[in-house]
Amino acid sequence: MRTSTSTSARLVDLLLDETERRGYRLDPDHTGGYANRPIRNTRKPRNHSWGLAVDLNWDLNPATTDGRVHTNFPHFLVPLWGRYGFAWGGNYRHAFKDPMHLEFMGAPADADDKTLAATRQLPHAGPGTPPPHPHAGPHTYTVQPGDTLFLIASRLRIAGGWKKLYDLNRAVIGNDQASSSRGRC
């Protein structure tokens, strides 16, 4: 299914904004997400390569191997990010701890759902916030069981809602004979 917008980085943007709004200042020289490099001693890309992980203030929240977490994160930060699907590297089970590290632990549809929830729940993420940046071309979305045009348009913040999404995909969807035969609620 084609959409006119993308939510790939929107959730991280919302959480970074909320983190700073609550008073934790991020140093742009020591905070980042996209880093295309392999996991150490492998050829497999790190989750940072896919934009699925972000490191916050790495100079103040260093990775360690002594089993202890050394961090200056305020008490709200880990629960805030966790509520929207991110695991914290400070909770790793063994001696290696990575408290700078927050990693999304879901599928793309989960990110869409969490992004929609964040736009509704976070105080400064409501209607006044700008929509995600449009792609230069069409975006592909795989329809999941239970999806409706309304739900997909809401998840992806499509300007014009489900009607615009239908117009973009009319050739694939065709006429919706089923809804007219079932009647309206």
Residue 104 has pLDDT above 80, yes or no: yes
pLDDT mean over 123-145: 57
Alpha-carbon distance of 26 to 60, in angstroms, equals 10
136-171 tens-digit pLDDT: 445 667 777 777 777 777 666 677 777 888 888 888
pLDDT mean over 65-80: 95
What per-residue confidence (pLDDT) applies to 106? 82
The tokens describing 13, both together, are 């943007």
Domains of the chain by start residue, with CATH? 2-7+108-182 (no CATH), 10-104 (3.30.1380.10)
pLDDT mean over 63-89: 95
Alpha-carbon distance of 180 to 4, in angstroms, equals 27
Residues in the chain: 185
38-55 tens-digit pLDDT: 777 888 776 665 667 899
User: For 31, what's the count of Cα atoms within 13 Å in the CB-facing half-sphere?
Assistant: 13
Sequence letter at residue 63: A
Contact status, residue 36 vs residue 45, Cβ threshold 8 Å: yes
Alpha-carbon distance of 36 to 142, in angstroms, equals 25
- The answer to whether the predicted template modeling score (pTM) of the entire model surpasses 0.85 is no
Phi, psi for residue 116 in degrees, rounded to 5:
-60, -45
Alpha-carbon distance of 99 to 59, in angstroms, equals 11
End-to-end CA distance of the chain: 26
